[in-house]
Structure 1
Amino acid sequence: MPERQRSDARRNYARILAVAEEEVAAQGAGASLEAIARTAGVGSATVRRHFPTRHALLEAVSRSRVDALADRARELADEDDSRGALLEWLGEVVAYCVSTRGLAAALAYDCAAAAPGQQDTCSAALEQAAEPLLHRAAREGAVAADTTVTDLITLIVGITLATENHPDPAGAADRLFRMSVVGLSPSV
């Protein structure tokens, strides 16, 4: 949000974002934009002025958690066990994706359909955060050398989608992720 906006526009932005965070947490990525506007006490046009697309709103909702995950990746980069650090971080990403009920998948699919030049900053931030962890683990022979960050993000989105309607989505997602980790192991 530009700092040069009027104070009422900044307040509207903050109120819309706070309501959107609650609605997405409760309803998932398909939360109604009209309900968000109504609850925030603004019109639909105001929501669209601040967030021209659903993707833009979902990006803003997920930004603080993605930033925290990126910070966590930097913290783990100095761990002695490069494989353990990568897997710990990926496990945290899985937990985040499961907790957001469709947000990660919506961002992933929206990014695939995005117009050229439109950037998915949350996905880019996660990829950028994962690169050093993955490269170090691969360099040390702790994961298969041909594993890519795109592979890992795709795996996480797949696990998230597969467990979304499970009675215990977090437990099921963690179990599937741990099972898939065997596939990250270098050939012996």
Structure 2
Amino acid sequence: MASSGLKPQRADWQRNHERLLAAARPLVARDGAQVSFEEVAREAGVGSATLHRHFPSRRALLDEVFREAAERLRRRGDELLGGDPGAGLLTWLEELTVAAVETRGLSASLEADADGGPSSAEGCHGVVRTATVHLVDRALAAGAVRPGISPDDLLALVTAISLATESDSAAARRLLRLAFDGVRP
């Protein structure tokens, strides 16, 4: 995905950009906001100068990785609106929890590093909250969750579980399923 606002790039530029992002995703999942620029370049098979031409700062790299994650979540939230309301909400919460576990402090880093412009963390929060509101509303209307459950309650639960299980998505899923049993009527 080319950075927004840029003119179309040459094919080799685009290939390098995609290779850098593909290399960065698992490294960010493992190391979070402390990801090594040098390791990203090495894993992508490009030099440090190429990495810096594409991403002049760690923030620029993290920002794009985070934007991609937000876009994947947005699409997934839309998909889940078409199925069973209870199962869709649980699936959403599980996938959201795993995404939070796999971004390892990225949201906090981007917010702390904000330089006055809109951060990707803010954009992602809006995407996540909107999808959660829609899925909770459907689940409430279908009687799939207890009355009084709020999207903010569930987002707080996801945040707490992701912080408690950092880098262990299996534990995050297990804890979320346990908690979700208390959300069902």
TM over 0.5: yes
Cross-structure match for 2:34? 30
- Give the corresponding residue for 1:43: 48
Cα deviation digits, residues 114-154 of structure 1 (max 9, x gap): 344313243433333323112223445534436134x4334
Q: What count of residue pairs does the alignment treat as equivalent? A: 176
Confirm or deny that 1:69 pairs with 2:73. Answer: yes
Q: Which residue of 2 aligns with 1:181?
A: 180
Distance in 2 separating the partners of 1:55 and 1:155: 27
Structure 2: distance between partners of 1:106 and 1:129? 20
Residue 87 (structure 1) aligns with: 90
In 1, the alpha carbon distance for the partners of 2:60 and 2:129 equals: 18
Measure the CA separation in 2 of the matches of 1:181 and 1:22: 28
Take 1:93 and 1:170, find their aligned partners in 2: how far apart are those partners?
A: 11
Distance in 2 separating the partners of 1:6 and 1:58 = 23
Gaps of 5+ in 1: none
Q: TM-score, normalised by structure 1?
A: 0.71
One-letter amino acid of the structure 2 residue matched with residue 87 of structure 1: L
Query: What is the distance in 1 between the residues matched to 2:7 and 2:135?
Result: 34
- Contact 2:149-2:183 within 8 A present in 1 as well: no
Q: 1:131 aligns with which of 130, 133, 149?
A: 133
Q: 1:78 maps to which residue?
A: 82
Shift of 1:36: 1.6
Relative to structure 1, is the Cα distance of residues 62 and 88 closer, same or farther in structure 2, using a 3 angstrom cutoff? same
Give RMSD over aligned pairs. 3.1
1:147 to 138, 150, 153: 150
TM-score, structure 2 length as denominator? 0.71
The answer for unaligned runs of 5 or more in structure 2 is: none
> In structure 2, do the counterparts of structure 1 residues 75 and 6 end up closer, same or farther at CA, with 3 Å as the change threshold?
closer
2:61 alignment counterpart: 57
Q: Could you tell me which residue of structure 2 aligns to residue 19 of structure 1? A: 23
Give the CA deviation at 1:32: 0.4
Counterpart CA distance in 1 for 2:183 and 2:59 is 31
